[in-house]
Structure 1
Amino acid sequence: MHPLFMEVIFAVFVLVYCLLIVRFHYYWLQIPVFQLRPNELSKQTPRVSVIIPVRNEARHIVSLLQDLEQQWLGAQKVFPKNYWEVIVVDDASEDETAALVQNFMHQTELAIALISSDVRVSNRSPKKQAIWQGIQSSQSEYIITTDGDCRVGPYWLLTWLQFLQQNRPALAAGGVTYHREKSWFERLQTIEFASLIGMSASSIQAQQPITCNGANLAFSREAFQKVGGYQEHWHVPSGDDEFLLHAVFHQFPKEVLFLKNPEAVVKTYAKRTIASFVQQRKRWAGKWKMHRESQVVLLSLLVFVFHLCFLSSLIYFAAWVKLDYWLVGLLILKIGVEWAFLKSVLRFLKKERGLINLLPLQLLYSAYFVIIGLVASGGSYTWKDRKHHQHD
């Protein structure tokens, strides 16, 4: 293949990709920052149920419950049951998760309940089944979901309550980030994850939602019931958040929002090993082919082809020992556009110091994205000590 043709293809894909990132950045900046009023909580505030599906989370669940116990509602730490409740749904844990939750229940004023998920239900995602049972056990107007390995700040709940009261969304997504990173590998994951959160928020603002994260998600009971809950995708192991987002958006397009406030950001843990990281990304990528949403399919295809082209071009140019100055300029443009977008998102997540890791990530990300995209198209993955097949 002629080098000039390769250069032109490379240039086209880089420019299209840069325009896409600029568009994400534009809509990210358009999202209004929600202003928290720490001493305000009115009688019109909707009641919420915080539902936490757990499986083998003995290492983390007590820390999350302690965070919830320390929530500030108004001017003091209080636990008014008319405002909220916590429902932990145990998904057949094989460790001490349930016992730890029960022990915590005896020592707290928190309105907390522990129920067991019915693992006998076949052809249903275990996590979706757990969340669904939690919803059936609640009476609240709004549901907020998070995960057993997450941490929340003292104003997390108050921010959500005020946001739900003022906006009355059918569904709203919040920010999620990694914390306590101990290695360079974990810090790289923080950068990548920030790009996903930024893309999620921006696409919601553009009214073309792509994805969201169930570790920090709120939706109304009415909207959940009107879209039939998870009935259209019970069989897909993952996607309790993403498929629900699209189902709700189709019926309530003006009522899907992103909560942009640092106090509402949820923190979780990056994967410590490459093996666990690959299993997680296979789980995430495996649901892409299940989508019926044209914008999700087109975006996934565009980004995959871009990274395939980008990687192939770098290998080709390296082999020919030929990289024109204008192509170097395109590379600098790509890095600059990503840098600007990620700097804004990471500042919101209070992770701006990690931005320096974007440079080494440039050399690794395209290869990683292509490999994960190919691997996720078939086979199986292990999650929460269960094996799932991609065709499930």
Structure 2
Amino acid sequence: MEILLPYLLFALFQICFVVQLYFLVYRQGVLKWANSNSSPSNQNLPVSVIVCARNEAQNLQENLPLILTQNYADFEVIVVNDCSVDDSAHVLDQLKNSYPNLKVVTVTEHKRFKTGKKFALTMGIKAAKNEFLLLTDADCQPASNQWIKLMQSCFSEEKEIVLGYSPYRKTGGFLNTFIRFETVKTAISYLSAALHNQPYMGVGRNLAYTKTLFFRSKGFAAHLHLLSGDDDLFINQNATAINTAIQISPEAQTFSETKKGMVAYYRQKRRHMGVGKYYKAKNRTLITLDALSGFLFYTFLTVLLILKFEPWIVTGIFIFRLMVQCFFYPAIFRKLDAEDLVWWFPILDLFYYVYLNVFGVVGSVTKNLKWK
């Protein structure tokens, strides 16, 4: 049995390698040649931008003017002031004096009913006068004044959902680098899935859909008992091969700051990963297959090298996988404004798969958590 064990591990290592190639080449490689849609179409659909904010006075003061001054003819900005106890109301009152296209919806805390982002977002959507909705967060800044124009340009008779991309700003330090890397890898996964006509999630920092779709699908009713999932669960349940488009132009991105410190990051990811178990079964299967095969690939690689089992072959397989990554990822990372992260392979790749499996387990036992 001891003699056969290394051969068994090597066989499993090869299986993980093949699965990883499937995701790298077939599933994700399509994004390498994807059109960045950098030239907006001539259509000018009326758009309602919705921002939910709880105790975001400083972010509203800094970021909201960049949304309110977009180079676009027909749009309104709705800010849902969700039970804030800071100076948000005062900041919004001041901004309303300068920007007539700003509308404020105020949500107050109820003793018997604890509100969350889904309730606030629903109030904002109900207050929207336009059919086409564009969502972002108070801590996000549009990359350019073409953000609205580029996002709305992807709507059509068939397309009811537009998946955007929202990276984090580079500030230095390993945690910031890893968060940015994880964000890019997540984006590669859900954007490439949409290109394969299998969309499964979106990110609320940069996401658009129609008001008709929201009410036709009864909003967040299917998962209202969960405090998270206003973006990814909604998309998971309503996106189809026909009704979903992506927008990855650098000018259509929205930037935000990463969490400061491991504790804040852990809380954020615990909340986000806690809704993954509610995805459709086929989506959960693919996500799990990618995460587990990547983690086991590195695990078997390490064990086989320690056992000194065919080290040249094992190392050669690792190098081949790395070469495939180097063929696809630089172009994709450039499109997603993260070219500097390519040089961190394979260190961040290893941490990424450890992260996926650890938080996958944590998320599976996570209960409802507050959104702010």
The normalised TM-score by structure 1 is 0.86
- Whole-Å separation in 2 of the counterparts to 1:127 and 1:63: 21
Aligned-residue offset at 1:124: 7.8
Which runs of structure 2 are paired with 1:131-146 in the superposition (5 Å)?
A: 131-146=121-136
Distance in 2 of aligned mates of 1:325 and 1:338: 20
1:334 matched to 2:321:
yes
Amino acid at match of 2:197: Q
CA deviations on 1:55-111 (whole Å, 9 max, x unpaired) are 1222322222121133223xxxxxx5xx110000122123222322222222x2341
Percent of matched pairs sharing the same residue: 21
1:215 alignment partner, SS class: coil
Amino acid at match of 2:276: W
1:318 Cα deviation after fit? 5.3
Partner in structure 2 of residue 95 of structure 1: 86
How much has 1:51 moved relative to structure 2?
A: 0.3
Out of 220, 244, 247, which is 1:256 matched to? 244
Which runs of at least 4 in structure 1 moved beyond 4 Å after TM superposition? 121-125, 379-385
- Measured after TM superposition, the shift of residue 210 of structure 1 is 2.3
Q: Residues 239-250 of structure 1 correspond to what in structure 2 (within 5 A)?
A: 239-250=229-240
Distance 1:324 1:111 in 2: 65
Match for residue 279 of structure 1 among 228, 246, 267: 267
Residue 62 (structure 2) aligns with = 63
Aligned to 1:12: 15
Q: CA deviation at 1:125?
A: 6.8
Are the aligned partners of 1:51 and 1:146 in contact in 2 as well (CA < 8 Å)?
Answer: yes
In the aligned structure 1, how far is the partner of 2:138 from the partner of 2:184? Answer: 20
Aligned pair partner of 1:28 in 6, 26, 31: 31
Residues 351 and 365 of structure 1: is their aligned pair in 2 closer, same or farther, counting only changes over 3 Å?
closer
Deviation, 1:311, is 4.5
| Residues 1:316 and 1:26: Cα distance change in structure 2 (over 3 Å) | closer
Q: How far apart are residue 220 of structure 1 and its match?
A: 0.9
Counterpart for residue 325 of structure 1: 312
The alpha-carbon deviation at position 231 of structure 1 amounts to: 1.1
- In structure 1, the residue matched to 2:282 is 295
Any idea what the Cα deviations from partners look like across 1:264-289, whole Å, max 9, x if unmatched? 11111222211111112212211111
Distance (whole Å) between structure 2 residues aligned to residue 85 and residue 313 of structure 1? 54
1:158 equivalent in alignment to 2:157:
no
The aligned runs of 1:133-212 (5 Å cut-off) are 133-152=123-142, 153-164=144-155, 169-212=159-202
CA distance in 1, matches of 2:292, 2:131: 43
What is the Cα deviation at residue 319 of structure 1? 4.5
Does the aligned pair in 2 maintain the 1:170–1:248 contact within 8 Å? Answer: no
What secondary structure, in the 3-state scheme, does the structure 2 residue paired with 1:218 have?
strand
Residue 203 of structure 2 is aligned to residue 213 of structure 1: yes
- Stretches of structure 2 that go unaligned for 5 or more consecutive residues are none
Q: Secondary structure at the match of 1:115?
A: strand
Deviations 1:18-59 (A, max 9, x none): 21121233432453332425xx755xx321110001112223
Q: Give the secondary-structure state (helix, strand or coil) at the position aligned to 1:139.
A: coil
| 1:281 counterpart letter in structure 2 | K
Report the alpha carbon displacement of residue 205 of structure 1 after superposing the two structures with TM.
Answer: 1.3
Unaligned stretches of 5+ residues in structure 1 = 74-79, 386-392
Q: Which residue of 2 aligns with 1:238?
A: 228
- Whether the 8 Å contact between 2:20 and 2:294 is mirrored in structure 1 is no
**1:346 alignment partner, one of 333, 338, 341:** 333
SS at match of 1:214: coil
TM-score normalised by the chain length of structure 2: 0.90
Q: Which amino acid in 1 is paired with 2:25? A: V
The alignment covers a number of residue pairs equal to: 368
Q: Which residue of 1 aligns with 2:51?
A: 52
> Partner residue of 1:104?
95
Q: Note the aligned Cα RMSD (angstroms).
A: 2.5
Match of 1:388 in 2: none
**Partner-residue secondary structure (3-state), 2:19:** helix
Shift of 1:255: 1.7
| Deviations, residues 237-274 of structure 1 (Å, cap 9, x unaligned) | 21111222133225xx4121111322111111222211
